Amino acid sequence: MEKHYDTLRFEIFDPYEAKETWAVEFDKRNWHSVKIFVNDNELNALLVELEDKEKGVLTPTNPANEYGHNGVYIVDQLESDYADSYGASVCCCAGCGEEGCWGIRVKVRKSEHEVVWHDFEHEHMSYTYGGLEFHFERNAYDAEIRKLQQWAKQYKH
């Protein structure tokens, strides 16, 4: 039986033009941030949906009111030697843009053929995210990381 892998895609955008609160508030014009898509769904929206489920919220929360998008430097965390023990920040605070203020970390475990994002953890709340895990095929994951590395060289702030 063939293993099913999740898909990962990074998309670069200007958060000021997109009117992300932190980018407008701190006048971050021409800044470059990264949206993360897993299985063609934006990660921030997936996480907020799971948080709403845990809180029993009946009216969906707007993900833009909870989380912003990290800059291209996210690649440094995803590729860090500490990514499996400490984790990598996959989003930032919607209000200030700081990852440690109101963000979510994920641990990244790599093997020869697979990369697993596991143990999602909010930096201030005790959400479980339903034990969420994503399993990416290593070659496809590495191709997305190379794309991020190129953007980091091009748009480093």
3-class DSSP state of 69: coil
Q: Domain for residue 68, yes or no?
A: yes
52, 127 contact by CB (below 8 A):
no
Whether the full predicted model's pTM is greater than 0.85, yes or no, is yes
C-alpha–C-alpha distance, residues 46 and 63, integer Å? 9
Residue 1 lies in a domain: no
Query: Does a structural domain hold residue 2?
Result: no
Report the number of distinct structural domains present in the chain. 1
Per-residue pLDDT of the chain (157 residues; tens, 9 = 90+): 678 999 999 999 999 999 999 999 999 999 999 999 999 999 999 999 999 999 999 999 999 999 999 999 999 999 999 999 999 999 999 999 998 899 999 999 999 999 999 999 999 999 999 999 999 999 999 999 999 999 999 987 6
* Position 66 in a domain: yes
Binning the chain into helix, strand and coil, the percentages to the nearest 5 are 30, 25, 45
